[in-house]
Structure 1
Amino acid sequence: MSRHESRREHEFRQVDVFSAAPLLGNPVAVVHDADGLTEEQMASFARWTNLSETTFLLTPTDPAADYRLRIFTPGGELPFAGHPTLGSAHAWLEAGGVPAADDLVQECGAGLVTVRREGGALAFQAPPLTRSGPVSDPDVAAICRALRLTGADVVDTAWIDNGPGWVGVLLRDADAVLALEPDWAAFGDLKIGVVGRYADGPVAVEVRAFCPGYGMPEDPVTGSLNAGLGQWLAGTRLPTAYVASQGTVLQRRGRVRVTREGDAVWVGGDTLTTVVGRVAL
């Protein structure tokens, strides 16, 4: 049997995340019933979609989980990512998935992640940071080179890594974030998330996510980064509940709702299916 003849069709959805209107958030490609796929098939399809992330819904191995998720960028697999978590939960529910309890429980490389329904939106509980704390002077210098900034431009930095490798950079305001023109050749392995406050208005901050090592220079709207930023800043430099804007420079209109409840940080937003079909893999 040829490779072509052995392919099997899978239900497929493309979900726009962090936007209530189509084409303004961050799309994730979701392949249903993916247990029979190999890791190479998953990686190949992720490269082909060329989206920031492509996910695969599988049978859970942990009895506490409703489903298992594998998450791939064009450059490789991630243990956790935020907008794929919400988009995949949306797709699983839309395809008829029924959680064992009120909240959904996702199994992924980072462990179990809780997803709750908030009206018509979804929110995930930020997983524990795998790396946190101060950023060394050499790393700050490398960050400044990559962002074409001086040390005086940076208000604060911190490691806020929950799987993808994020380091957080706080700038003086949202305008400084929007004005950034990074030096992509200077990034190396850095994955940099930048945030700056608005003086007033319906959103509190502007966020940008730079991750050329994952095959995408700038991610449109990023749940994992906003989770790390919330764990770092919510309740201290930022309110305990706020809305972040992301994707403005890329002509998107992402809106991410971040809420700290005690030690837990929740990251939520709207999700909307834009493509439904079948894919042969």
Structure 2
Amino acid sequence: MRFSQVDVFSSEPLRGNPVAVVHDAAGVTDEQMAAFARWTNLSETTFLLPPTTPDADYRLRIWTPGGELPFAGHPTLGSAHAWLGAGGVPAAGAEDVVVQECGAGLVRLRRQDGRLSFLAPPLVRSGPVDDADLRAIARALGIDRADIVDSAWVDNGPGWVGVLLADADAVLALQPDWAAFGGLDIGVVGPHAAGGPADVEVRAFCPGLGITEDPVTGSLNAGLGQWLAGDRLPSSYVAAQGTALQRSGRVHVSLVGPRGTGEVWVGGDTRTTVSGTVDL
């Protein structure tokens, strides 16, 4: 089977988040998918399959070393890049619009100014975080409860809860207590000062998925955009992520339309870094 490994969310080689993509995976079993995801040991490994609906161009299954996800952002962008690079032609006839089928439903992608972006799927859980969870989140992050400026559930499938800190320095200084997570998947965001490398700094902690810290995370940034864009953050902004892991991720988030009812688009650069075949 054809295989691609795509670096996502960085214009610099080897500085984003890689996703392993297996093409033409219709004959691959669940057990083989899970085993290959554990073997690659990347944040996500994906498998391209024929769609089950005429409304989609392909179906995508997304696996972490710990199990399958209904949706994830950087695998969505990287897999679309790989599918197009292998000669995929969108059924709608529009070169710059791709429709992906996955566990979360249909996800629309577009190419604009040479960069792929996806439409943030609806949140499956949103709203305020209760005090007991906030105390647990603070313990897991190794900070005081008072250091949390704001918080919200921003779950579009992986289980994210979003936490806003005072600034980017506070985000980069975090030293999580992994034993205290108790199944939480925590995304943290803080603003950079004017003239900084990006508008905000983001970190994603998800030990329950078999990953302690994810380098650059599309699903989290989609949820954070739905929560913060056009309110505490501008309608369009750039998030830096991966700095603490010596990566240079840049996630482009745009709210199109009114807050609450508009569309949030999440985009980034993609490039194939490894290509060949895989024998499962």
TM-score (norm 1): 0.96
- Counterpart of 1:40 in structure 2: which amino acid? E
- Counterpart of 1:47 in structure 2: which amino acid? R
Match of 2:85 in 1: 94
CA contact (8 A) 2:251 2:266 kept: yes
User: Which structure 1 residue ranges, 4+ long, deviate > 6 Å from structure 2?
Assistant: none
Match of 1:153 in 2: 147
The more displaced of 19-28 and 125-134 is 19-28
Cα deviations across residues 80-103 of structure 1 (Å, max 9, x unaligned)? 000000000000000000002321
Which among 239, 243, 246 is matched to residue 251 of structure 1? 246
Indicate whether 1:193 and 2:187 are aligned.
yes
Residue 212 of structure 2 aligns to a residue whose secondary structure is: strand
Which among 74, 80, 83 is matched to residue 83 of structure 1? 74
Residue 89 of structure 1 aligns to a residue whose secondary structure is: helix
CA contact (8 A) 1:14 1:30 kept: yes
Match of 1:167 in 2: 161
In the TM superposition, 1:184-263 aligns within 5 A as 184-201=178-195, 202-262=197-257, 263=262
Q: Compute the displacement of 1:164 (Å).
A: 0.2
Match of 1:109 in 2: 103
Give the aligned CA root-mean-square deviation in angstroms: 0.6
Which among 114, 117, 125 is matched to residue 123 of structure 1? 117
Match of 1:49 in 2: 40
Distance 1:119 1:100 in 2: 21
Which among 170, 183, 186 is matched to residue 176 of structure 1? 170
Q: Compute the displacement of 1:120 (Å).
A: 1.7
CA contact (8 A) 1:177 1:194 kept: yes
TM-score (norm 2): 0.96
Cα deviations across residues 180-228 of structure 1 (Å, max 9, x unaligned)? 0000000011000000001112510000000011111000000000000
CA contact (8 A) 1:55 1:69 kept: yes
- Counterpart of 2:229 in structure 1: which amino acid? A
Residue 24 of structure 1 aligns to a residue whose secondary structure is: coil
Residue 33 of structure 1 aligns to a residue whose secondary structure is: coil
Q: Compute the displacement of 1:119 (Å).
A: 2.0
Match of 1:5 in 2: none
Cα deviations across residues 9-59 of structure 1 (Å, max 9, x unaligned)? x10000000011221000000000000011111000000000000000000
Match of 2:64 in 1: 73
Which among 129, 134, 140 is matched to residue 134 of structure 2? 140
CA contact (8 A) 1:47 1:74 kept: yes
CA contact (8 A) 2:12 2:248 kept: no
Distance 1:22 1:160 in 2: 30
- Counterpart of 2:10 in structure 1: which amino acid? S
- Counterpart of 1:114 in structure 2: which amino acid? R
Distance 2:182 2:4 in 1: 33
Distance 1:123 1:204 in 2: 18
Distance 1:141 1:198 in 2: 25
Q: Compute the displacement of 1:66 (Å).
A: 0.2
- Where in structure 2 are there 5+ consecutive unaligned residues? none
Distance 2:28 2:193 in 1: 49
Distance 1:119 1:42 in 2: 34
- Counterpart of 2:272 in structure 1: which amino acid? T
Match of 1:35 in 2: 26
- Counterpart of 2:82 in structure 1: which amino acid? A
Residue 71 of structure 1 aligns to a residue whose secondary structure is: strand
CA contact (8 A) 1:21 1:272 kept: no
- Counterpart of 1:69 in structure 2: which amino acid? L
- Counterpart of 1:88 in structure 2: which amino acid? S
The alignment-based identity, stated in percent, is 76
